[in-house]
Each structure stands twice: as structure tokens, then as C-alpha cells.
Structure 1
């Protein structure tokens, strides 16, 4: 196997994971706000939203596996799982580690949604917006492709898409509880 295989796996899967995270948030916003109504199909949006989130977690796992098996920087389990223990771009990597834990929390609670209170699930799920920003900051601070023009354009487009999705979500909060009527 090529000596740079794991390095390329780490880089590519990290970028793909970021794209999938942004897409997951966009699909979640489309699902919640129904801004495409009557042309949207909620069941399809939900299925795709779940698939994107799960695939983002898998790609993040490949990203971490590639870093672990690539010998250049020498990441061990501690550097991959404990924030602040990496000597390489410590803050950027720490943000990535914390973002990983948020991703796991969002995904696990999504699978357990029927067993959790709606308030708890919703509170954890709303961390997805911070997760996307954390992953983007991680990529910008710890990523080695930040000087590549193609990567810069993709990162800019992803950032714009994430900002737009967040704005749509904030401006269209979706269904709200109606106040109780007076008796």
C-alpha cells in the first residue's frame, strides 16, 4: 500500500464529512421549515436527512482512522479523543475532537428519539448548528488544504450555505405552540 494512503484517506474523508454535515443541516432546515412546500416530500427529506447525518459520522470515523494509521504526525487514541492533547495545531484539533463528540451525541439521540423527551432531543439536535461551525473552524485551523484554491472555493460555498440555512431556520422557526384559549 502507498505510504500516503492513510494521509489521503484522512484528508478526503474529513472534507467529505464537512460537506455531509452542511448538507445534513440544510436538509434538516428544509424538513423543519417546509420552505419548499408544496413541492417538498417530508418523508423523503427525513430519510435523506438521516442518511446524510449517519454518513457524516461514518466519514468522520474514516477521517480519524486515517489520522490514526498515518504515521507522519503520530496521532494516537488520546490525541483523537481527548481535546487539547495534540501537539499539532492544538486548538484546531481540539475543536475537531469536541465537534466529533457533538456529532456522536446528535446521531445517537436521533436514533433514540422515541425514547427521549422532545425537549431533550430538540436541545441536543440544535447543537448541530454549532457542530457545523466547529467542523468548519477545525478544517480551517487544522486542515492542510486551506491554501488550495479549490478547497477555498468549496469552503466558502459551504460556509455561505450554512449561513443561509441558519438564517432560514432563525427566520422561519416552524410550528409554534398556540397559546391556550381563555375559558
Structure 2
């Protein structure tokens, strides 16, 4: 049973990383006001939101499977308190930092209509810090995995996707900015 939980935790973590990468990419593209006839902005926003929810579900599964597995010393507190894990305390701690940042994003997103837009936006920018921290968690734990070359390639592909979307975002001038000038 422990082997199935370990593989399930790894798989859920990988899917969560891929989905969160897509969320960050879509966030950059939506902020850059990217759209086409087939992909209007509202469709990108809906996809962004739905992938974010799916990413949260896979992240929750990743965490639950890892803690319940019991193969390594990983307690529930290590999920939210960085660097207290008995197993790989630094890399698991980095994952806990990512979880804490993500919790701030989720809570403020749930309260979005009850808070000033600038405040929500400021906290939402934590996603751009949360994602590389989560990627670092992945990269740091890949060293112990037998599928190392494939996982390294996946981490590189995720990084390249985010860098490409960031370059689109920062190289384009949004229509709103042009109107404000």
C-alpha cells in the first residue's frame, strides 16, 4: 500500500506543478491582454481559474498522500511550517513556503469581493513568487527519484513556458496602459 501512496503522491505533485505552470502562463497572458477570436479574454480567465482549482485539488492530494504514506517522516505540521520535516527538511520546507504563499492567494481570492482591488492584486502577485518556490521544491526532490531525467526535462519545460509567457507579458503594451497615456 505504501508504494501506491508514494507513486500517487509523486503523480499528484507532478500534475499540480504542470497545472500551476499553466495557471501562471495564463495569468501572464491574461495580464498582457492576450486574446484571439477563438480565445477571448473571458475564456482565458475562466481557464485560468479552473486550472487553479484543479491545481489546488492535485496539490491537496499530493500532500495527503505524502503525509499518510508514512514511508518518510513527514507530519501535518511540516506542510505549513517550513523546515521542520524529518525528511529532506530544506526541500520539504521550500514546499511548505509555497503552500503558505498559496494559502494567502486562495484566502484573498475567496474574499476578493470584500477587499480593495489593489490589496487583492498585491497579494495575488504572490503567485509569481509561489510558482518558482514550488518549482524549486520539485527540482530539489528530483535528485532522489529514479525518473530523474524525465522530471528534470519536465521542470525545464515548465520554466521555459513561464519565461516565454513572461516575455510576452513584459514585451507587449497593454491597451489599458496605452489609453492611460
Residue 85 of structure 1: how far off its partner (Å):
0.2
Unaligned runs of 5+ in 1: none
The offset of 1:152, in angstroms, is: 1.7
CA distance in 2, matches of 1:83, 1:127: 17
Work out the number of aligned pairs and report it: 178
Equivalent residues of 1:57, 1:104 under 8 A apart: no
1:1-183 paired onto structure 2 within 5 Å: 2-143=1-142, 144-145=144-145, 148-172=148-172, 174=174, 175-176=176-177, 178=180
Does the C-alpha gap of structure 1 residues 16 and 166 become closer, same or farther in structure 2, counting only changes over 3 Å?
same
Cα gap change, 1:167 to 1:61, in 2 (>3 Å): same
Q: What are the Cα deviations for residues 125-182 of structure 1, in whole angstroms up to 9, with x where unaligned?
A: 1111111100100011134438622212211111101111222223336333726xxx
1:107 Cα deviation from its structure 2 partner: 2.2
- The structure whose residues are more often helix, as a share, is 2
SS at match of 1:4: helix
Q: Out of 102-111 and 43-52, give the one that drifted further.
A: 102-111
RMSD over equivalenced CA pairs, Å: 1.9
- TM-score normalised to structure 1 length: 0.88
Q: TM-score with structure 2 length normalisation? A: 0.89
